[in-house]
Amino acid sequence: MTPILVFDIETIPDIAGIRKLDDLPSDLSDDDVAEHAFAARREKTGSDFLPHHLQHIAAISCVFRDREGMRVRSLGQPGDSEASLIQSFFKVIEKYTPQLVSWNGGGFDLPVLHYRGLIHGVSAPRYWDMGEDDREFKWNNYISRYHSRHTDLMDVLAAFQPRASAPLDALAKLCGFPGKLGMDGSKVWEAFQAGRLDEIRAYCETDVVNTYLMYCKYQLMRGGFTADDYADEVAFVKTALAAETGAHWAQYLAAFADA
């Protein structure tokens, strides 16, 4: 089987970048720098959601599913540089050429990875191949929206219509999965400021499991799984998570039982 790599990122404001672009004084606190950026963004757009290039990646979590099993991990270690996290992500693609799966990866995660990888000088030749090195990639690559090496589930299920997009948390719960537990993206900056990076990484990990389960449900709908295949894979995911360490997995499995 082609390995499957489900991915999700969590971001915080790029404090250093905002300081540089807006020529802010060095004695201004990180919190005040962030609020400065949020206020400017609210005035311009009505939302404090910062543009993609000013999203600093704090965590990248993945589900890796192949013939050998399923692993759920956050890349690197807490405290690793943003550049190191991004390079680790693209190294997995370089080594395995996996099927990428995301929820809104085309609209958010990948553009952020592109911009931040560019800033840090990250190398990702396999990911960017569009047929120059491997002719198969001319017709099916990671970059083109309608190719299948990257399946953005939110985009595909909405028939590529932004107005039809659904949030992962709501749809996961409607499909009988746990959904988000205890945190969402709006709380990541607050958690980071409080030094709770482990909590952010755990939250990101549960989100990629939600996404993988949604991918399994999608495979059932499109005929990639039979009903028995689907039931077996969901049972396999539960068994794999039960073998993982971390309190968030016990909480996730308990929520699964109640879903």
CATH number of the CATH domain containing 238:
3.30.420.10
Q: What is the pLDDT of residues 34-54, one digit of tens each?
A: 999 999 999 999 999 999 999
Cα separation, 56 vs 85, whole angstroms:
11
Residue 258 domain-assigned?
no
Q: What is the pLDDT of residues 151-200, one digit of tens each?
A: 999 999 999 999 999 999 999 999 999 999 877 778 899 999 999 999 99
Predicted pLDDT at 122: 98
Residue 62 domain-assigned?
yes
DSSP H helices, 53-139, are 82-96, 110-120, 125-128, 136-139
Overall domain count for the chain: 1
Residue 254 domain-assigned?
no
Residue 72 domain-assigned?
yes
**Tokens standing for 165?**
């997009």
By the 8 A CB rule, do 125 and 133 touch? yes
By the 8 A CB rule, do 217 and 103 touch? no
**Tokens standing for 156?**
């595909």
Residue 253 domain-assigned?
no
Which parts of 4-109 are beta strand (E)?
A: 4-13, 55-66, 69-74, 99-102
Helix (H, G, I), strand (E, B) or coil at 14: coil
Residue 42 domain-assigned?
yes
Q: Is the pTM of this model over 0.85?
A: yes
State the first-to-last Cα distance of the chain, in angstroms, to the nearest integer.
30
Does residue 60 carry a pLDDT above 80? yes
Cα separation, 144 vs 3, whole angstroms:
20
Host domain of residue 233: 4-248
By the 8 A CB rule, do 253 and 238 touch? yes
- CB neighbour class for 29 (10 Å; exposed up to 12, middle 13-18, buried from 19): exposed
Please report which confidence band the pLDDT of residue 120 belongs to, taking 50, 70 and 90 as the band edges.
Answer: very high
Q: Which amino acid is at 36?
A: H
**Which CA distances in Å does 66 have to 70, 98, 188, 216, 234?**
7, 9, 30, 14, 15
Residue 75 domain-assigned?
yes
Residue 112 domain-assigned?
yes
